[in-house]
Amino acid sequence: MLKYPTIEIAELRRIVDALLAHVERVHGPEFKLDTDYFWDLGSPQMWNVGTEIVKVDEVGSLGDSWEFLFNMRDHDIERVGPSLMLIHAAPLLRYIGEKVGE
């Protein structure tokens, strides 16, 4: 595998959709969150694995992330340009992935 691969967005979409379809088959159309807050190692710390992490003092909220994403569905996404909203999908996908794997 390439050290710095180029991600094809269409392929990523296909893969994530297939993964979510699997979760839906296994768990049904809804997924109950049993926690809300999580430690959030912000950028650029998250991407610099060469530095020691002394403490993490940012907290994220799965509930907030879901609310942000849910409210985007009624907006003109192309007009608003919410690319940054992808950062809210990541913790939800990770949480669901870890719970499905239990």
* DSSP string for the chain: --SSPPP-HHHHHHHHHHHHHHHHHHH-S----S--EEE---TTGGG-TTS-------EEEHHHHHHHHHHHTTS-HHHH--GGGHHHHHHHHHHHHHHHT-
32-44 pLDDT per residue, tens: 999 999 988 877 7
- The confidence score (pLDDT) of residue 1 equals 55
Mean pLDDT of 6-22: 93
Prediction pTM value: 0.79
62-89 pLDDT per residue, tens: 999 998 888 776 555 666 666 777 888 9
Could you tell me if 61 and 37 are in contact, meaning their C-beta atoms sit under 8 angstroms apart? yes
For the chain, percent of residues with pLDDT exceeding 90: 46
Residue 99: pLDDT above 70?
yes
